[in-house]
């Protein structure tokens, strides 16, 4: 489909330049930026690239942000780094809007969206927010005493923004129901994958991998339990790749319990798919709490892009995709015994080949980035038209 050379100017505000932003967020940010750029929009990427830049951007005090901080006890001296984030992005965005005069702002994440909201109002620029997860649910899952304040923050951004992009049907339904938001204000834009030249092949022993973030919601301990349970089964070998806050805990457990898992370290993206293609099964364990039900983990699509059948709990949209597309096994009951039984099924060569081909075809068709991001065009263009009238 041919697009005009320029549909309008988008200021794309995100925080992936430094810090703890997980790889999945970076991948989605890059995919959206490239998609909008090649489809005729003038996309101005605005990102704070370092902690020093954030500290510098935090001064002077932005009174528009401060006035809104009063109603959010979380953003007080008890949480100075979060206060720093909010003020830095408010100042940063105000300066960039003055310099660029965008038609619309897309802010990535609840925190950045909340910071952007008052500044966008000052300049009468539509504020669209891309929400990858529910921050308050993640904080609650980690035992943070401040999760209710995060919920208030997210409620304000959901109600005050012009439009919300979410990664799953479950997230849309939850926001509509819990925050009294009109369904028309929310567009589901799921994550996707990129078709790869690499393809997994069937081999015994099957190499079983978990590759991703080491965070509580990933429930990587289930993967270690599975490897321990099948320690003496010659048909399977287990590999772990990634990084995150639980890395030391997981590696300590592998060593102390003598679990037969080989840790491959953090694999740079340029080598990642080549490594994945030498595996046979991708495991995606998960908690079943709200933070996970509404998510759209990119590892699922990465696995499928090289033809790895996926074994995962039937949680959220991605569990439905695996089941409906016959691209692996989605477990109704994710006990370790059921994980092991799923691997028994996939050890059958004919079954593995069928599910591998289905997985690869999903990414070549329905769930490649160009397809899943297409709803952005209509929504963004609608708000650009409003700005120009």
CA angle 193, 195, 197 (to 5 degrees): 140
pLDDT at 61: 44
- Mean pLDDT is lowest, of 69-83, 188-202, 330-344, for 69-83
What superfamily would CATH give domain 9-189+373-388?
Glycogen Phosphorylase B; (3.40.50.2000)
More confident residue, 85 or 325: 325
Query: What sign does the CA torsion over 263, 265, 266, 269 have?
Result: negative
- Check if the beta carbon of residue 172 is closer than 8 Å to that of residue 166: yes
pLDDT at 81: 55
Residue 71 CB-half CA count within 13 A: 11
**What is the three-class DSSP state of 358?**
helix
Distance of CA 194 to the CA centre of its chain: 15
Mean pLDDT score of the chain: 87
Residue 75 has pLDDT above 50, yes or no: no
pLDDT at 173: 97
**What share of the chain in percent tops pLDDT 70?**
86
Average pLDDT over residues 132-151: 89
**H or E segment to which residue 209 belongs:** strand 206-213
66 falls in which pLDDT band (50, 70, 90)?
very low
Q: Show me where the domains of the chain are located.
A: 9-189+373-388, 206-364
Residue 297 has pLDDT above 90, yes or no: yes
- What's the pLDDT tens digit per position in 209-221? 999 999 999 999 9
267 secondary structure, DSSP code: P
Radius of gyration of the chain (CA): 22
Considering the domain 206-364 in this protein, what is its CATH number? 3.40.50.2000
pLDDT at 183: 97
Average pLDDT over residues 93-102: 89
pLDDT at 89: 75
pLDDT at 389: 67
- Check if the beta carbon of residue 43 is closer than 8 Å to that of residue 10: yes
pLDDT at 84: 64
Distance CA 213, CA 31 (A): 19
Beta strands across the sheet bearing 163-166: 42-47, 9-14, 104-108, 127-131, 163-166, 186-188
- Mean pLDDT is lowest, of 40-54, 154-168, 180-194, for 40-54
Fold equal for 9-189+373-388 and 206-364: yes
More confident residue, 146 or 372: 372
Average pLDDT over residues 231-259: 96
């Amino acid at each position: 489909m041919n697009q005009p050379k320029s549909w309008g100017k988008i200021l794309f505000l995100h925080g992936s330049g430094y810090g703890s932003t997980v790889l999945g967020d970076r991948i989605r940010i890059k995919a959206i930026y490239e998609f909008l750029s090649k489809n005729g929009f003038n996309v101005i990427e605005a990102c704070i690239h370092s902690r020093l830049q954030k500290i510098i951007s935090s001064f002077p005090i932005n009174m528009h942000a401060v006035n809104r901080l009063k109603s959010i006890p979380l953003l007080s001296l008890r949480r100075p780094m979060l206060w720093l984030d909010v003020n830095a992005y408010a100042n940063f965005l105000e300066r960039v809007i003055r310099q660029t005069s965008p038609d619309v702002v897309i802010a990535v994440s609840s925190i950045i969206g909340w910071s952007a909201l008052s500044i966008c109002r000052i300049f009468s620029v539509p504020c669209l927010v891309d929400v990858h997860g529910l921050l308050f649910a993640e904080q609650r899952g980690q035992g943070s005493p401040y999760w209710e304040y995060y919920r208030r923050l997210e409620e304000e951004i959901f109600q005050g923004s012009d439009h919300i992009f979410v990664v799953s049907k479950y997230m849309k339904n939850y926001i509509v129901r819990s925050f009294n938001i009109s369904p028309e204000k929310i567009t589901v834009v799921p994550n996707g994958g990129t078709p790869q030249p690499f393809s997994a092949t069937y081999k015994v022993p099957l190499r079983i991998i978990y590759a991703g973030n080491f965070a509580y919601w990933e429930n990587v301990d289930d993967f270690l339990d599975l490897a321990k349970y099948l320690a003496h089964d010659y048909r399977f070998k287990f590999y772990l790749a990634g990084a995150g806050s639980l890395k030391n805990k997981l590696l300590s457990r592998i060593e102390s319990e003598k679990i037969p898992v080989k840790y491959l370290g953090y694999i740079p993206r340029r080598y990642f798919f080549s490594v994945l293609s030498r595996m046979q099964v991708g495991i995606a364990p998960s908690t079943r709490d709200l933070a996970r039900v509404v998510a759209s983990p990119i590892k699922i699509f990465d696995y499928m892009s090289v033809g790895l059948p996926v074994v995962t709990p039937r949680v959220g949209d991605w569990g439905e995709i695996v089941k409906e597309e016959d691209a692996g096994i989605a477990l109704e009951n994710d006990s370790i015994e059921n994980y092991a039984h799923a691997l028994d099924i996939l050890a059958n060569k004919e079954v593995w080949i069928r599910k591998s081909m289905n997985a690869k075809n999903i990414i070549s068709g329905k769930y490649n980035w160009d397809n899943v991001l297409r709803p952005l065009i209509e929504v963004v263009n609608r708000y650009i038209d409003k700005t120009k009238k």
